[in-house]
A and B are shown apart, each in its own frame.
Chain A
Amino acid sequence: MEISVTINGTSHTHDVEPRTLLVHYIRDVVGLTGTNIGCDTSSCGACTIHVNGESVKSCTVFAVQADGEDLLTIEGLADGDTLHPMQESFRQCHALQCGYCTPGMVMAAVSYLNENPDPSEREVRLGLEGNLCRCTGYHNIVKAVLHCAAGGEQ
């Protein structure tokens, strides 16, 4: 089936099998490999992208369901060489270790702050409950999200 999606502002049209998962479409067909696959069971959040501005686990969506939608992946977050404030906060707060969960964490965090711009620490932890960091680096991840919510730069 032919689908057309906008990813990071660029239109893409491809013929896909109905069973193609959105994450596989993004990585293998479009070639944007910043979105990672972790658990494959909609638990870990590594594959989190935005669909129409909201965080979604792209391993649990068929590509055909995204037909006509506006998608944002980690590659589309920065403005040229200028990191998105959330990416900059992750950098400043050392909010990554191995980095595997990071794209999903950042996308989930950006979506979360859109819904709750001034969260408490507990709210950040609950807001990121769909994302696992197997380095267990949660402390600095939460710190980075709070840093970003507070305006970023020191």
Chain B
Amino acid sequence: MIPAAFDYVRAGSAAEAIATLADHGDEAKLLAGGHSLIPLMRFRLARPAVVVDIGRLEGLSYIRDEGDHVAVGALTRHRDVETSDLVAARAGLLGEVTSHVGDPQVRHRGTIGGAVAHGDPASDIPSALIALGATLVAAGPQGSREISVDDFFSGFLETALADDEMLTEVRIPAADGAPWGFEKFNRRAQDWAIVGVSAVVRAAGDVGVGLVNMHSTPVRAAAVESAVAGGASAAEAAEVAAEGCEPTEDLNASVEYRQHLARVLTRRALEAAGL
């Protein structure tokens, strides 16, 4: 399938990319690694009139130790996140989850910023960012702003990014030594998760849990976190994993099955994290 025709702009700087977005509003889309956008364009589910290629921008591919957090540039490829010693030491959950995205070819091209800005509830990485309590940095014509991951995902494939904003950095609070668990259930290698769960235990009674494919957006299992804070065991807390979620039904799973998977996988993820 051939994508619909579009005008191609290769941005020479972040400022130029943002200015081009500002000129074209919702007619323009940013292209980084392309592994979320190009499949949509091939199915013609997305038909941007203008594609702004930011894939060659210098200075947005990095993983830095910033003391209380790890800063990951938006153009950092999955391959670089999954093999980063710094990520493994200070945000191990993110490294592990990233290693389950797609397949090696996809991880050679796909970027953390692209995966997050795509806003797909079936994507693995947002669940880790929710569990770890990440902050996202967006740049626009008026400068930069920080957005909590809890305010970022606003609807199916929709985010808090304005039409003229570009995600530039992901900040993950340091979680050195915090045990974590990640569970992804799918039926074939490389498939999207039917349901997935990221969990991290920061301290006694303080866990972060993010769910994959359980809602129209990536979603926090807030009821599970509250239950653990109230003294619940992993098995007890996992019973409320699907609470507040409205998963969809598709060929792979009914709503009830997804709710069941959320409970089972949450228990396993919490147990893997030592709860």
Q: Does residue A21 face the partner (Cβ distance < 8 Å to B)?
A: yes
Partner of B109, one of A56, A126, A129: A56
**Which B residue sits closest to A107, measured CB to CB?**
B105
Q: A45, B105: Cβ atoms under 8 Å? A: yes
Q: Does residue B257 face the partner (Cβ distance < 8 Å to A)?
A: no
How far does the Cβ of B115 sit from chain A's closest Cβ, in whole Å?
Answer: 14
Note all chain A residues with C-beta closer than 8 A to B79. 54
A1 to B10 Cα, complex, angstroms: 11
Partner of A62, one of B38, B104, B189: B38
Given A41-B42, A43-B190, A62-B34, A57:B5 Cβ within 8 A: no
Q: Does residue B45 face the partner (Cβ distance < 8 Å to A)?
A: no
How far does the Cβ of B32 sit from chain A's closest Cβ, in whole Å?
Answer: 10
Residue from A1, A61, A112, A127 having most chain B Cβ neighbours under 10 A: A61
A55 to B77 Cα, complex, angstroms: 13
Partner of B6, one of A18, A24, A60, A130: A18
Q: B104, A60: Cβ atoms under 8 Å? A: no
Note all chain A residues with C-beta closer than 8 A to B105. 42, 45, 48, 55-57, 108, 130
Contact with A along B1-41 (1 / 0, CB 8 A): 11111111010000000000000000000010011001101
Q: Does residue A40 face the partner (Cβ distance < 8 Å to B)?
A: yes
Note all chain B residues with C-beta closer than 8 A to A125. 189
Note all chain B residues with C-beta closer than 8 A to A51. 108
**Which B residue sits closest to A131, measured CB to CB?**
B103
Q: Does residue B55 face the partner (Cβ distance < 8 Å to A)?
A: yes
Note all chain B residues with C-beta closer than 8 A to A56. 105, 108-109
Given A18-B6, A129-B190, A42:B108 Cβ within 8 A: no
Given A19-B3, A41-B42, A55:B34 Cβ within 8 A: no
4 A-B pairs with the lowest CB-CB distances in the bound complex, closest first = A130-B103, A18-B8, A129-B189, A54-B108
Can you offer 19 A-B residue contacts whose CB atoms are under 8 A? A18-B6, A18-B51, A19-B2, A45-B103, A48-B105, A55-B105, A60-B38, A60-B39, A61-B109, A64-B8, A64-B10, A64-B53, A65-B34, A65-B53, A126-B189, A129-B104, A130-B103, A130-B104, A130-B190
List the interface of chain A (C-beta within 8 A of B).
1, 17-19, 21, 24, 40-43, 45, 48, 51, 54-57, 60-62, 64-65, 108, 111-112, 115, 125-127, 129-131
